[in-house]
Chain A
C-alpha cells in the first residue's frame, strides 16, 4: 500500500491581533491508500484545522505535507485549487449544492473546472451519479430531492473526478438517523471499492463505521487506533434524537 497522506511536523498558528494561537502542534500522520479513517475531537481540538490542511484549503505554518506524493505545503492558491480539483473529493455537512442547478450539473462542476471536454464530462458524471444510485434523478434540482438524496448528489460530486481521497466533514450532521445510516452504508461501499476516506466527525456513532479513529485534543493527536468497524444499523442512530441538524 502506498501513502496518500503524509503529514510531518505540521503546525498551524493563527495570529489574532498580537496573540498567537496554536491550533496544531507538530502533528505527524500517515494515511495509506484504501484506509477509512475518522478524525475526532471536541471543538477547539484542531480537528477542523487538520481537515482544512488535509483538504488543501489551508497551508500549515510549518511542516511538510505530501498528498499522493506531491508536496503541497508551499503551493500557491491556484496550485492548491488544482490539487483539490484532481486529488480530493469534498463532502460537506450542509451539502453545498447549487440550488438552481440540477443534480447533473452539480456533479459535473469539478470537471468543468478541470477543463474537461463535454463528452468526457458526461461519461464521468453519469458514472458518478450511477455510483450513488441517482442516475434517474439527474434532472432534479436539490429542492426536489430528499436530504439523503442531496447528500448522495454531493458524494457523487466528490467522486466525479476520481480523487485519491474522499474528505467528508460531518457528512451526516444534517441528516436524520435513517438517512445517516444510508450515507454511511454508501461510504462503506465506496471503501470496499478501494476509495480512501477521511471522515471528520464528533459523533462516536459515525466514527464507529471507520477502520481507524484518530483523536485530537488541544492540537495534538491524543490517540490513533484501528478498530473493527460497525457495519449494520444496530443501536447508535436510533438513540440519536433531536440534536440532528444542529450538530456543527
Chain B
C-alpha cells in the first residue's frame, strides 16, 4: 500500500511535467471532457435550481387546497374540449360553499386585465382579481397594512381594493395608498389594504395584482366569466375524500347525467408536481445522455492521446524499467496522467458551468451545491481512469528491451 500511494504521488509529479510540456495538446485533449462536464453540470445545476425554486413557488398554492376551474392547469391535448365547457357560475360556487362539509373554507375568484392609474402614474396592464372575502384564508394573500375585502364590500359591490406590494411601489410611491383612490379602467376604487410581499414565481411577480370584491368585478366588468372555486380542506391529509365530495356536488350543481364526463377541472398542487417531475425527468435523461456521449467522446480522445503518448515515450518507459520501475509503477504513471488530464478538464468544465449558471441566473434559476462540484471532478477523473486503462496497461507491459531499442 505504501508503494501504491508512493507511486501515485510520484505519478502526479511525472504527469504534471509531461502535461505541462505539451500544453496545447493537453488543452485540446481536455476539450471533450470539458464539454461533457459543462453539459452534465449545467443540466444538474438547472435541475437543482428548478427543484428548489419550484418547491418554493408552488408552496403558495398549498397542498391542502383544491381549485375547481373550467380549464385544467396543464393542457396537453384537446384544448377545444375545455373551451366549450359551460362556465363555472355563481350558483355552482354557492352549492359548493353550502354543501362541501370536508372543506374548512370555500372561496371564489375571477379576474380581468385593466389599466390602472394614480395621479400621473399609469400601468397599462394589471391583473384585477375579484375575490370573495374568504379568499384571504385559502392562500398567502394576507394584508400587511389595512384590511382585506369584507363580506359587506362584496355584498354591496363596493368600490374598494387591496393592492399588491408592487402596485404600492410603482404607482403610489411616495404616498401612503390607504384611503386614496386608484383608477381601474373606467372606475375608481378606495384602497383599503396592502398585501404582504409574495415574491416571484416562474419569473412572474406575485405582487402586481389589485384585488377587489368579486361582485364588484362582475358588476363593473361583466358577469359572463367563469369562476375559480377554491376549497381548503379541513384535513389536508385526506384530500381525496374532499375531492370526491366536491365532484359529487358539482355534478349535481351542473346537472350532469351519470354517463357524462366531468365538465370542470379539479386542479391541485399535485398536478403541477407531477407535470414538473415528468418535465424534469426528460431534461435529466437528455442531459445524462448528451453529457454521457460528450464524456465518452472526450474519454476516447484521452485514450487516443495517451496511446500516442505511450508510443512517443517508449524509450522513456524502457529506461524507467531498466533502472528498476515495476509494472505497477508504469501503470500508475500513465493512469495518473490520464486522470490528471481529465480532472483538469473537469475543473475547467466546472468553472465554465458555474459561469454559465451565473449568466443565465436571471431567467433560469441554477444552483451548484458542493456535492455536485465534487461529483463533477471525481467523475471526470473516473473517466480518465477508465479510458487510461488500455494505454497504461500497454505501457506497463512493454518489454524493456524493445522499449530501449526503439528511438
A residues neighboring B (CB under 8 Å)? 52, 55, 57-58, 77-78, 81-82, 84-86, 90, 92, 94, 96, 98, 100-101, 109-110, 112-115, 157, 161
Contacts and interface: CB of A to CB of B under 8 A. Distances in A.
Contact of A110 (B3, B18, B323, B401): B323
B56 interface: no
B326 interface: yes
A92 B20 CA distance: 27
A228 B395 CA distance: 45
B325 interface: yes
Contacts of A84: 321-324
B315 A114 contact: no
B315 A96 contact: yes
B196 interface: no
Interface residues of B, number: 25
B404 A113 contact: no
Contacts of A90: 319, 322-323
A86 to B, nearest CB: 8
Contacts of A81: 321, 324-327
A92 B316 contact: no
Contacts of B326: 77-78, 81-82, 113
B64 to A, nearest CB: 68
B404 A92 contact: yes
Contacts of B2: 115
A179 to B, nearest CB: 20
A245 B196 CA distance: 88
A120 B381 CA distance: 33
Given A57-B400, A58-B401, A92-B404, A113 B322 contact: no
Contact of A98 (B10, B316, B322, B407): B316
Contacts of A110: 323-324
Nearest to B22: A100
Contacts of B400: 57
Given A58-B401, A92-B319, A96-B315, A114 B327 contact: no
B125 interface: no
A58 B400 CA distance: 8
Contacts of A112: 10
26 contacts: A55-B322, A57-B321, A57-B404, A78-B327, A81-B325, A81-B326, A82-B326, A84-B321, A84-B322, A85-B323, A86-B324, A90-B319, A90-B322, A92-B322, A94-B315, A96-B315, A98-B319, A100-B20, A100-B21, A109-B323, A113-B325, A113-B326, A114-B324, A115-B2, A115-B3, A115-B6
A157 B323 contact: yes
Contacts of A78: 326-327
A43 to B, nearest CB: 13
Nearest to B325: A113
Interface in B311-355: 315-316, 318-327, 329
Residue picked from A55, A78, A82, A113, most chain B C-beta under 10 Å: A113
A19 B197 CA distance: 91
A52 B326 CA distance: 17
A112 B17 CA distance: 16
A178 to B, nearest CB: 24
Nearest to B2: A115
Nearest to B17: A100
Nearest to B329: A113
A86 B404 CA distance: 19
Interface string B7-25: 0001000000110110000
Given A57-B400, A115-B2, A85 B324 contact: yes
Nearest to A98: B316
Contacts of B3: 115
Given A58-B401, A81-B324, A96-B315, 6 more contacts: A57-B321, A78-B326, A96-B322, A98-B316, A100-B18, A157-B323
Contacts of A100: 17-18, 20-21
B322 A94 contact: no
Nearest to B6: A115
B322 A101 contact: no
Interface string B380-407: 0000000000000000000011001001
Contacts of A115: 2-3, 6
A96 B320 CA distance: 9
A181 to B, nearest CB: 25
Contacts of A101: 17
Nearest to B313: A98
A155 B65 CA distance: 85
B332 to A, nearest CB: 12
A65 to B, nearest CB: 16
A81 to B, nearest CB: 5
B173 to A, nearest CB: 67
A90 B403 CA distance: 14
A72 to B, nearest CB: 14
B245 to A, nearest CB: 79
